[in-house]
Amino acid sequence: MADTVVEPAIEKGLEPERREQGDVRTEEMLVNMGPQHPSTHGVLRVVLRTDGELVLDAIPHIGYLHRCAEKIGESLPPYQYIPYTDRMDYLAGMNNNQAFAIAVERLCGIEVPPRAQAIRVIFSEFNRIASHLVALGTYGLDMGAFTPFLYAFREREMILDLFEAACGARLTYSYPTVGGVRSDLPDGWVERCLEFLEYFEPKIDDYNNLLSFNHIFVKRASNVGVISREDAIAFGLTGPILRASGVRWDLRKVQPYDGYEKYDFDVPIGEPGGVGDTPRGVVVGDCWNRYFVRVLEMIQSIRIMRQALAELPDGDIMAKKVKNLKLPVGEVYVEVENPRGQLGFYVLGDGSAIPARVKARGPSFCNLSIIRHVARDVLLADVPAIIGSFDVVMGEVDR
């Protein structure tokens, strides 16, 4: 019986190249990074074509966490679908709840009371801070810095304590809902929140001293994975990744929702090295700027929260006409500024209580489209730095 040679499965479009020069034979290698890998931040598989330490090509593979979230939305009334939106981006549940609720409200012509809008803004920005703290801490781990992770998660636990006091949950909240929010703020919550903001704002200087301006971290993240302004727009990137490339685009400013037009805040963008606090060697659109834009956004979220807490109106927290809700014949598409970028929901109504069609536009899903373009001709050690700077949540990618 003849020997059978089993060739390994070759990734389509990533065939390794073999070269011979005299007696020396070299061959490129395909390396699987993930789907179980600490620096892929979830079940993301990236197939790398390498030549020694150089990555020649990288193709992301998704779908390991797919669970029919959009199809489920076509079998439930909107208020019952709110908990499923928590599970898409499980680090920004408040923002996801808010996005779907606004989509249904606009389709049905529901007017949300001013107090409920202000509470939504407070919790949306609070969740943005909590999400960016995870991004900051885990990115430090990707780069080999352990201590900032402990600092970031210490403050995040305090935020989760305040979330728990308001809605009883620490990760999947279902607090913003169709028509407003599920419950009013408990007694003393506003004062506790203001105390936390007073405590938290100086801590950002600690993060900068520990990590942002750390010489080793700056060397590892600056001028790596550079995304130009033109490429960021062409690939449909949004959120901190787009703004780090110098594009001042934030839906809270250009398409305000839930009363964001009333608040005064800035939109941070990427800066070249040597400008302001930016260390030398940093390039607009590199990994360091993608990281630091999130640090600056936390400061702006504090500004927004203080304004909302100071001007918190009295009144109802739920709209009047949300019981026995029927979705009118029509369609709507609404986007909000999620911590990772533009999160959109498309809802199609056919006159019944259950949507005929639900579709989500996930920011991480769209942001991943540029991985093959930006993680090419880089060192193998730079791939975790690039992917980590994207702050991907796979639950929202696969849905």
Residue 186 structure tokens: 């408990």
pLDDT value for 161? 95
Quick: pLDDT tens for 20-34.
666 666 778 888 887
Quick: pLDDT tens for 205-216.
999 999 999 999
Residue 39 structure tokens: 């620096």
DSSP label of 279:
P
pLDDT value for 324? 83
Q: 5 lies in a domain?
A: no
Backbone dihedral angles phi then psi of residue 101, each to the nearest 5 degrees = -60, -45
Q: 349 lies in a domain?
A: no
d(CA 194, CA 28) in angstroms, rounded, equals: 56
Q: 115 lies in a domain?
A: yes
Say if residues 143 and 290 touch (Cβ distance below 8 Å): no
* CA 184 vs CA 79, 95, 118, 220, 304: distances in Å: 18, 18, 11, 45, 20
b/e per residue, 245-267, with b = 16+ CB within 10 A? bbbebbbbeeeebbbbeebebeb
Classify 253 as helix, strand or coil. helix
Looking at the structure of the chain, the number of domains it has is 1
Q: What is the CATH classification number for the domain harbouring 237? A: 1.10.645.10
d(CA 2, CA 399) in angstroms, rounded, equals: 47
Distance of CA 158 to the CA centre of its chain: 20
* CA 111 vs CA 46, 311, 316: distances in Å: 45, 19, 12
Burial of 331 by CB count in 10 Å (0-12 exposed, 13-18 middle, 19+ buried)?
middle
Q: 238 lies in a domain?
A: yes
DSSP label of 38:
G
Entry pTM = 0.90
pLDDT value for 352? 92
Backbone dihedral angles phi then psi of residue 333, each to the nearest 5 degrees = -135, 125
d(CA 370, CA 358) in angstroms, rounded, equals: 26
Per DSSP, the chain holds a count of helices (H) and strands (E) of 16, 11
Q: Enumerate residues 6+ apart whose C-beta is below 8 A from 306.
A: 194, 197
pLDDT value for 6? 35
Say if residues 72 and 84 touch (Cβ distance below 8 Å): yes
Full domain range(s) for residue 88: 77-324
Q: 329 lies in a domain?
A: no
Q: What does the mean pLDDT of the chain come to?
A: 88
pLDDT value for 354? 93
Extract the residue ranges of the chain whose pLDDT is less than 50.
1-10
Distance of CA 86 to the CA centre of its chain: 13
Q: 66 lies in a domain?
A: no
d(CA 19, CA 112) in angstroms, rounded, equals: 66
CB atoms within 10 A of CB 45: 17
Q: 179 lies in a domain?
A: yes
d(CA 81, CA 70) in angstroms, rounded, equals: 10
Q: 162 lies in a domain?
A: yes
pLDDT value for 397? 86
